[in-house]
Chains A and B, each alone.
Chain A
Amino acid sequence: MTRKSAYPYWFFIPAGVIFAILFIVPTVASFYFSLTYWDPFEARFAGWDNYVQFFSEPFLVRGVLNTLFFAFLTSALKTGLGLLLAVLLTSGIFAQGFLRSVVFFPVLVSTIGVGLLFQELMHPTQGAINVALAAIGIDGPGWLVNPKLALFSVALVDVWRGVGLATLIYIAGLSTIGPEYYEAARIDGATRWQQFWRVTVPLVRPATNTVIVLSLIGGLRLFDLIWAMTRGGPGFSSDVLASVIYKQYQAGFWGLSTAGNVILFLMIAAIVAPLAWWLNRRELEA
């Protein structure tokens, strides 16, 4: 039997220390502070009060539901659109390289910039979108001022901004599928449509899993775009957990705000960890 040397473990220490300082300490600290009423000078123990209060405020619960709606909608759209765009951009169409840059470009722009830009574009009367719609005789909706539509509009902008990354991941995934898989399918008489569903979709699965998990995490913790476009409004109609947490913090309810952060963390972990595990297992089975 060979004894394992301790020596290699020394190399984990730098990364381990950084991980502990930047991640474990703040996480444990927020668990603690979420159980207190705190400000920079003192922390009074509050038990579960912050959590009870959090779930008894209807608009906070609304924030949780909005977060879930937003995350699942944007993740689904980015996954579907990303795959379609990637298939299109690898099919050898005209100006492929240029079009790839166009699709990826929004990923590089600052989110706040995108938010402010679309706030202008989506203005109910002067915004370019509704002006264009009016020109063809359509009465454009109040994208960001209609409480039923605001969150949905932000979601569309988030998809526009984020689909480039999904497309990039998919292009990488598609490039790993050898041409002989399609050739074998063609010999078996597969139509284009069958090739897409029976060859591309299953074989690009590792990329799909990556896109789903990344966009879901991004969607669950989204803050900047919401804040730049609606500040959670009108009313609380487009508030998500992150914006609610920020508002509580601004209003001086630091303990409540920390409790919100813990809930957000647990929610992401509770959704993403099992999902990632399930997706990976299916991938390994393949």
Chain B
Amino acid sequence: MARVVLRNLRKSFGALEVIKGVDLEIEDGEFCVFVGPSGCGKSTLLRMISGLEPHTSGAIEIGGRDVSGAEPSERGIAMVFQNYALYPHLTVRENIGFGLSLARVPKEERNRKVDAVAEVLQLGPYLDRKPKALSGGQRQRVAIGRAIVRDPEVFLFDEPLSNLDAALRSQMRIELTELHERLGSTMVYVTHDQVEAMTMADKIVVLNGGRIEQVGTPMELYESPATPFVAGFIGSPQMNLFEGGAARTMGCDVYGIRPEHLTISDGAGQWVGRVRHVERLGADTIVHLDVPDLGPLVARVDGGLTYAIGQQVHASPDPERAFKYRG
């Protein structure tokens, strides 16, 4: 059992409070993603769970045990770093077995465990290479291997895919999800990329300025974002958000409508605007409009439709899918 529970967790660097009271329960075996803009405190929160960063106040429980003050190695966690932190002078085998050799695990047992991990990650052919001779994706797998071999109760990932190119990133997303299914361990994953959060998470924690903005499954956050911040952060292209006069005419302080919940027509519609830019993605087309009543408006339409730049069109929101926020 490795539930992770954070109770009123706070962290200050000097006078600067960067984590402002976080309460969170991560269930055993859950894939939990912390997502939020750069500087919102995701890494700090993860590093406090790992024990690399002491927390200022509050409590952390891992597997029902209060680990406040415990060394990182005593918390039953393993961590994968953004730049992998592989030792350049050691081979892949030695890197994966580093922790075992520190613990003076006999060589035979060590090799057996490393081989088993290499099998899972398809690293067998590379065991005798140095990290320098590996591709980015292979290095990433070695870093994951070093975590798996510790057989931790909780895996911690800090933006592990951000050094990879787009194609590799989507492949690694799938591999990590499969790994999670296979190992069944609790995983806590930090990213600033909402696509990673949506595609991998069982539970997403949206952070903003050191506070939790909302917690929920990917679809909960997509269907009912609790705040304009979450509404703007989850979903791609971003939700259209309007404040001020435009929102007041809709009877709220902030009005939001997703690009996929707008219909565009040549005839009548709620708003009139001109096409400023068209992005063709194939299946879909993203149409950027200038609407005098609102400002810029983005709509996602069927890829079969074509619009000319400067063309006048009408846009209508699906009233069922619009979000209205007060205050």
Does B71 sit within 8 A of A, measured CB to CB?
A: yes
Interface positions of B from 19 to 77, Cβ below 8 Å from A:
50, 52, 71-73, 77
A285 touches B72 (CB 8 A): no
Does A95 sit within 8 A of B, measured CB to CB?
A: no
Contact of B146 among A184, A194, A199, A202 (CB under 8 A): A184
Known contacts A205-B89, A285-B130, A286-B88; A184/B102 CB under 8 A: no
A187 vs B79: C-alpha distance when bound (angstroms): 7
Contact of B150 among A188, A190, A203 (CB under 8 A): A188
B150 touches A184 (CB 8 A): no
Q: Which residue of B lies closest to A184 (CB)?
A: B85
20 contacts between A and B (CB under 8 A): A178-B83, A178-B85, A181-B85, A183-B79, A186-B71, A186-B72, A188-B73, A188-B98, A189-B71, A189-B102, A190-B102, A194-B102, A198-B102, A199-B87, A202-B89, A203-B87, A203-B88, A205-B89, A285-B89, A286-B89
Please give 9 more A-B residue pairs, beta carbons under 8 A apart, in addition to A187-B50, A190-B102.
Answer: A180-B81, A183-B81, A185-B98, A187-B99, A188-B73, A188-B150, A189-B103, A203-B89, A286-B89
| Residues of the B chain whose Cβ atoms lie less than 8 Å from the Cβ of A199 | 87
A286 touches B83 (CB 8 A): no
B89 touches A188 (CB 8 A): no
| Shortest Cβ-Cβ A-B pairs, 6 listed | A188-B99, A189-B73, A286-B89, A180-B85, A184-B85, A202-B89
| Residues of the A chain whose Cβ atoms lie less than 8 Å from the Cβ of B77 | 187
Does B78 sit within 8 A of A, measured CB to CB?
A: yes
| Residues of the B chain whose Cβ atoms lie less than 8 Å from the Cβ of A205 | 89
Known contacts A190-B102, A286-B88; A184/B81 CB under 8 A: yes
Q: Mark A191-203, 1 if CB is under 8 A from B, else 0.
A: 0001000110011
A180 touches B83 (CB 8 A): yes
A190 vs B72: C-alpha distance when bound (angstroms): 10
Contact of A184 among B79, B88, B89, B130 (CB under 8 A): B79
Contact of B87 among A181, A186, A187, A189 (CB under 8 A): A181
A151 vs B81: C-alpha distance when bound (angstroms): 51
Interface positions of A from 197 to 213, Cβ below 8 Å from B:
198-199, 202-203, 205
A189 vs B72: C-alpha distance when bound (angstroms): 8
Count how many chain B residues have C-beta atoms less than 8 Å from C-beta atoms of the other chain. 21
A181 vs B95: C-alpha distance when bound (angstroms): 11
Interface positions of B from 165 to 193, Cβ below 8 Å from A:
none
Q: Which residues of A contact B (CB under 8 A)?
A: 178, 180-181, 183-190, 194, 198-199, 202-203, 205, 285-286
B52 touches A186 (CB 8 A): yes
B52 touches A183 (CB 8 A): yes
Known contacts A285-B130, A286-B130; A187/B88 CB under 8 A: no
CB distance from A203 to the nearest CB of B (A): 7
A199 vs B90: C-alpha distance when bound (angstroms): 10
CB distance from A265 to the nearest CB of B (A): 34
Interface positions of B from 129 to 154, Cβ below 8 Å from A:
130, 146, 150
| Residues of the B chain whose Cβ atoms lie less than 8 Å from the Cβ of A190 | 73, 102
CB distance from B100 to the nearest CB of A (A): 8
Contact of A187 among B72, B103, B130 (CB under 8 A): B72
Q: Which residue of A lies closest to B132 (CB)?
A: A286
A189 vs B88: C-alpha distance when bound (angstroms): 19
CB distance from B43 to the nearest CB of A (A): 11
| Residues of the B chain whose Cβ atoms lie less than 8 Å from the Cβ of A198 | 98, 102
Interface positions of B from 75 to 129, Cβ below 8 Å from A:
77-79, 81, 83, 85, 87-89, 98-99, 102-103
| Residues of the B chain whose Cβ atoms lie less than 8 Å from the Cβ of A180 | 81, 83, 85
Q: Which residue of B lies closest to A183 (CB)?
A: B52
Interface positions of B from 226 to 267, Cβ below 8 Å from A:
none
Q: Which residue of B lies closest to A187 (CB)?
A: B72
Known contacts A178-B83, A180-B85; A187/B78 CB under 8 A: yes
Q: Which residue of B lies closest to A190 (CB)?
A: B102
A183 touches B130 (CB 8 A): no
| Residues of the A chain whose Cβ atoms lie less than 8 Å from the Cβ of B71 | 186, 189
Q: Which residue of B lies closest to A189 (CB)?
A: B73
A184 vs B50: C-alpha distance when bound (angstroms): 11
| Residues of the A chain whose Cβ atoms lie less than 8 Å from the Cβ of B98 | 185, 188, 198
CB distance from A18 to the nearest CB of B (A): 37
| Residues of the B chain whose Cβ atoms lie less than 8 Å from the Cβ of A185 | 98, 102
A205 vs B89: C-alpha distance when bound (angstroms): 10
| Residues of the A chain whose Cβ atoms lie less than 8 Å from the Cβ of B81 | 180, 183-184
A188 touches B87 (CB 8 A): no
Q: Which residue of B lies closest to A194 (CB)?
A: B102
| Residues of the B chain whose Cβ atoms lie less than 8 Å from the Cβ of A181 | 85, 87
CB distance from A165 to the nearest CB of B (A): 25
CB distance from A173 to the nearest CB of B (A): 14
| Residues of the B chain whose Cβ atoms lie less than 8 Å from the Cβ of A194 | 102
CB distance from B110 to the nearest CB of A (A): 13
